[in-house]
């Protein structure tokens, strides 16, 4: 995968982000991380909500790199894979983990209930929080004008 191939296949387009756009994404991530920590929600809903926070963090990194993944079949997978292009080796662990989570989230949202365990819901919340921190650290180093 490369940006050239993603642009040619119309899975991505060039995009100039702004601090305002990133701050809106930050608000979504903060909401989702907080909601995913609510003990009264089902493990499925907490899992799916934490997954969304991670996806938004990926989209933040992609936007800072000058791209946007276009909404079409498979765009979540493309977003997660694209973080490897943006963040390099540091993102591989997270991209692979969240790809597995993506498939489980699809099952949760479209097929079955009671799919995620309590352990999985807690784990993805930790992973999503760590990934978001890593993205913010990268933005601060690489694009300081767009940082918090």
Residue 117 lies in a domain: yes
Residue 73 lies in a domain: yes
Number of domains in the chain: 1
Residue 2 lies in a domain: no
Residue 60 lies in a domain: yes
Residue 3 lies in a domain: no
Query: What's the pTM value of the predicted model, to 2 decimals?
Result: 0.93
Residue 89 lies in a domain: yes
Domain that holds residue 122: 19-146
Q: What are phi and psi of 88, to 5 degrees?
A: 75, -150
- Domain of residue 78, CATH code: 1.20.120
Residue 12 lies in a domain: no
Residue 39 lies in a domain: yes
Neighbours of 1 (CB within 10 A): 13
Per-residue model confidence as pLDDT tens for the chain (148 residues): 788 999 989 999 999 999 999 999 999 999 999 999 999 999 999 999 999 999 999 999 999 999 999 987 788 889 999 999 999 888 888 999 999 999 999 899 899 899 999 999 999 999 999 999 999 999 999 999 998 8
Neighbours of 124 (CB within 10 A): 28
């Amino acid at each position: 995968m490369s940006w050239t191939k993603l642009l040619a296949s119309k899975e991505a387009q060039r995009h100039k982000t702004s601090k305002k756009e990133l701050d809106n994404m930050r608000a979504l991530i903060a909401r989702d991380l907080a909601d995913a920590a609510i003990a009264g929600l089902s493990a499925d809903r907490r899992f799916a909500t934490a997954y969304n926070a991670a996806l938004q963090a990926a989209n933040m990194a992609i936007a800072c790199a000058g791209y946007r993944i276009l909404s079409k079949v498979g765009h979540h997978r493309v977003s997660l894979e694209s973080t490897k292009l943006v963040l390099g080796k540091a993102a591989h662990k997270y991209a692979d983990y969240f790809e597995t989570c993506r498939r489980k989230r699809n099952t949760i949202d479209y097929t079955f209930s009671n799919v995620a365990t309590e352990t999985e819901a807690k784990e993805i919340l930790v992973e999503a929080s760590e990934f978001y921190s890593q993205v913010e650290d990268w933005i601060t180093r690489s694009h300081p004008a767009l940082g918090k």
